[in-house]
Structure 1
Amino acid sequence: MKGQDLQYVLDWIAVQELVAEYGQAIDFGKDTGDWSRWVNCFTPKLVADYTRLFGGEPITLAREEMGKLGSDALAPYTRVQHATANTVRTHFKNATEAQVMAYADVGHFFSLNGVPQEWTLVIRYTHDVEKTSEGWKIRKVLLDPIHHRGNLLGAEFVRGKRLV
């Protein structure tokens, strides 16, 4: 794609919006229990690679399953906040495929014996996206943790530990 043509600019803006929506929709899902915005970020089938945080193998699933995945992963937290950097980089492979890298600080908030706690994870997301009849959608997401700070119990929560 040429950097000067109008379609490139329109696609670039749409991809930027998709990456911002990814994080905002997770926060909205956690706050409201309505994960439809997040689910709508994906192609009908996708690969979710959260192995660098959780271990295991990447999973292939239907986008409708992503709502439960997000809800279950964030169950121990009272709130989450994705602050996606505006230094999103997009590499268009062709007119309908691109790879996008974006950094985010993701605050995970919880209470321990009535005391507010925070665990923040600095992440690099790599999204393989494609242009569909519904617009640009994520077909593969890779979460790469860079750094974390705060109460490390938050890290244990994301790996499945629960308080008794």
Structure 2
Amino acid sequence: MTDQQLRDRYAIIELCTRMAWHLDHCEWDQLVDLFTDEIRLDYTSLNGGEPVTLPRKDVIGKWRSNREGLQATQHLLSNHLVTVDGATAHTTAMFQATHLLPNPFGGPTWTLGGEYRYGLVRTADGWRISALTMNILWADGNRHIRDLALQDG
């Protein structure tokens, strides 16, 4: 690999990791600079429906409303595969996302495992995420905590 390829790979993996970190720590303002103005989201493996393209403020707002009703989340990423093609890139990473909400209606955790697929573009300010696909491979625990979090959040 060339020095530029190594720098791009590091920057892209760091960007994807920061997305998970800022989400878990409710650092909403820090998420803004990680994305393009619009983001193509594909959560069909979780919610059904069709992929959507939304302004980043709407995506961050939705994540915020989903997260703030929970006591905690932890998104772990690993096994990044990065492909750079000029000013665009694609990355796949395995994820495990645990959601915590103690409640009287079942277990306190809901954990998802699978793959994230990121689409990225190189901008004057560095790499930015332009697309995110969640492909769930397994789930465990109490999915209903998501609904409870939205009621209380």
Q: How high is the TM-score relative to the length of structure 2?
A: 0.88
Alignment of 1:157 with 2:150, yes or no, is no
Q: What is the CA–CA distance in structure 2 between the aligned matches of 1:20 and 1:11, rounded to whole Å?
A: 14
Alignment of 1:109 with 2:106, yes or no, is no
Q: Deviations over 1:69-117 (max 9, x none)?
A: 10122344211011111x100112x221111000111110001139871
Q: What is the CA–CA distance in structure 1 between the aligned matches of 2:17 and 2:6, rounded to whole Å?
A: 17
8 Å Cα contact 1:80-1:108 kept in structure 2: yes
Amino acid at match of 2:81: R
8 Å Cα contact 1:46-1:62 kept in structure 2: yes
The alignment partner of 1:111 has SS state of: coil
Query: 2:83 matched to which residue of 1?
Result: 91
Question: Quick one: percent identity of the two aligned structures?
Answer: 24
Alignment of 1:14 with 2:14, yes or no, is no
Matches within 5 A, 1:102-141: 102-113=93-104, 117-141=108-132
8 Å Cα contact 2:41-2:132 kept in structure 1: yes
Of 4, 21, 28 in structure 2, the residue corresponding to residue 24 of structure 1 is 21
Deviation at 1:39, TM superposition (A): 2.5
The alignment partner of 2:50 has SS state of: coil
| Alignment size in residue pairs | 152
Identify which range, 114-123 or 141-150, moves more after superposition. 114-123
Pairwise CA RMSD: 2.3
The alignment partner of 1:100 has SS state of: strand
Query: 1:37 matched to which residue of 2?
Result: 30
Q: What is the CA–CA distance in structure 1 between the aligned matches of 2:3 and 2:102, rounded to whole Å?
A: 49
Q: How high is the TM-score relative to the length of structure 1?
A: 0.83
Identify which range, 99-108 or 48-57, moves more after superposition. 48-57
